[in-house]
């Protein structure tokens, strides 16, 4: 019995399913979850002492690599001054200023502790600001585990094939309109029917929780146009894409900061993952007029004992400071290199697939070569059964992939030639395993 198996057996007696986040249980790929004890650069080490090239990167935060020396130094220095003060600190403004410098549309920022808390607060703020109740979300987009947005969500819910969650009341669910992604006509129809009741549309800047899905040309700009016309807000969820797909996130690649011919700017952003550099930090931000509806200035209440935690702020500041143009250039190049290698290996074995991209994020969808994946229905229709053998072949070769086909692949600036060559060497056997898989 491996150490990971022993640790998993113990964990199952102490925690539901033995985990504190469902995808970690390997439910969709089977086998024993690896219990990790160390991370450095592009590598993870499990409890049995085996190392893996990491293509999860803590689900995004490790943009500059695990245990980057500048980030560790900043965290150690912050720890020396205390772990938590329950009061304001200079570091909160330091991180907010870095965010505002990268995303000029963020006129005000409120720090919170998790991506779920950021989206929850953004939804509450939108309702408070507009005086309306309904929220539009898109099937397959995941915005954290708040009740009203756990309808046709992606991420773990896609992995577990659950349409929603027990414990969410019918009344709460009725406050959310779930529409097909990449379908502006459906959005127009929803506003025609309910326009004076819709507080906001929330969307992932580029969905990455049903696998990666590229927003259609003009889709996000269209959402901005429609919400503005009807007096609703547009909430752009960049918890995953923010500061990872580029210095200003996916909006910086495609929105008002990038293309004068397709100018669009959301009213609110939500951030997480990279903004905390691996520690629990998230934020929401946007127009001052809207953000100032939050307490203590406005009537929308939000509070958090650990919001703006000084150690997490230090990690965030150090990570964003280290995330230079050179870092993004490396991650972008490695992403293109790896996705091309994956496609070539699968094609060599005759495996029908498409590679789904959004900036430097990508995923593989099996059985989708003809049309790709443009929405949740497309994602659910893929040949999911091919992923588990592909995943375990890579794992056996020392490459740690996301343990679900419905997740993005992540690289870091620490993925050097040695790490990449190890991944490349593992791909042919994994492609053969995927080709041999049976439904």
Active site residues: 142, 237, 273
Report the alpha-carbon distance of residue 89 to residue 291 in Å, rounded.
20
Q: Please state whether beta strands 51-54 and 399-400 pair in parallel, antiparallel, or not at all (unpaired).
A: parallel
Q: Please state whether beta strands 198-204 and 134-138 pair in parallel, antiparallel, or not at all (unpaired).
A: parallel
Report the alpha-carbon distance of residue 280 to residue 315 in Å, rounded.
10
φ, ψ at 36 (rounded to 5°)? -90, 140
Q: Please state whether beta strands 51-54 and 108-112 pair in parallel, antiparallel, or not at all (unpaired).
A: unpaired
3-state secondary structure 178-209: EECCCCHHHHHHHHHHHHHHEEEEEEECCCCC
Nearest to 154 by CA among 403, 391, 364, 407: 407
Nearest to 406 by CA among 204, 166, 158: 158
Q: How wide is the angle at C-alpha 115 spanned by C-alphas 323 and 23, nearest 5°?
A: 95
Q: Please state whether beta strands 108-112 and 134-138 pair in parallel, antiparallel, or not at all (unpaired).
A: unpaired
């Amino acid at each position: 019995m491996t150490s990971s198996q022993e640790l998993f057996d113990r964990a199952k007696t102490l925690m539901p399913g033995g985990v504190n986040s469902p995808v970690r249980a390997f439910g969709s790929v089977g086998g024993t979850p690896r219990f990790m004890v160390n991370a450095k650069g592009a590598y993870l080490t499990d409890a049995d002492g085996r190392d893996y090239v990491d293509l999860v990167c803590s689900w995004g935060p490790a943009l500059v690599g695990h245990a980057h020396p500048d980030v560790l130094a900043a965290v150690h220095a912050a720890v020396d001054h205390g772990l938590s003060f329950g009061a304001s600190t200079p570091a909160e403004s330091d991180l907010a200023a870095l965010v505002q410098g990268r995303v000029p549309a963020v006129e005000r920022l409120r720090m919170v502790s998790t991506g779920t808390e950021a989206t929850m607060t953004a939804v509450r703020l939108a309702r408070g600001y507009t005086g309306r109740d309904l929220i539009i979300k898109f099937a397959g987009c995941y915005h954290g585990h708040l009740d009203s947005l756990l309808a046709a969500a992606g991420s773990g819910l896609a992995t577990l094939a659950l349409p929603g969650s027990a414990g969410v009341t019918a009344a709460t669910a009725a406050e959310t309109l779930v529409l097909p992604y990449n379908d502006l006509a459906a959005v127009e129809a929803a506003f025609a029917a309910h326009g004076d009741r819709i507080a906001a549309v929330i969307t992932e800047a580029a969905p990455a929780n049903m696998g990666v899905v590229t927003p259609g040309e003009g889709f996000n700009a269209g959402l901005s146009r429609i919400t503005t016309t009807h007096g609703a807000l547009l909430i752009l969820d960049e918890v995953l894409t923010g500061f990872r797909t580029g210095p200003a996130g996916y909006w910086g690649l495609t929105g008002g900061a990038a293309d004068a011919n397709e100018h669009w700017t959301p009213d609110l952003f939500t951030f997480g993952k990279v903004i905390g550099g691996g520690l629990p930090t998230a934020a929401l931000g946007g127009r001052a007029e809207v953000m100032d509806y939050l307490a203590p200035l406005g009537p929308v209440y939000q509070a958090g004992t650990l919001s703006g935690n000084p150690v997490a702020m230090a990690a965030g500041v150090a990570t964003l400071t280290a995330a230079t143009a050179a870092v993004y250039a490396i991650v972008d190049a490695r992403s293109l290199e790896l996705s091309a290698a994956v496609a070539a290996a699968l094609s060599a074995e005759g495996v029908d697939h498409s590679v789904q991209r959004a900036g430097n994020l990508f995923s593989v969808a099996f059985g989708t070569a003809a049309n790709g994946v443009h929405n949740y229905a497309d994602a659910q229709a893929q040949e999911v059964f091919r992923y588990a053998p592909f995943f375990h072949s890579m794992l056996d070769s020392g490459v740690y992939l996301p343990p679900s086909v419905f997740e993005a692949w992540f690289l870091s600036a620490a993925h050097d030639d040695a790490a990449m060559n190890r991944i490349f060497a593992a791909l042919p056997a994994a492609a053969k395993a995927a080709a041999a898989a049976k439904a």
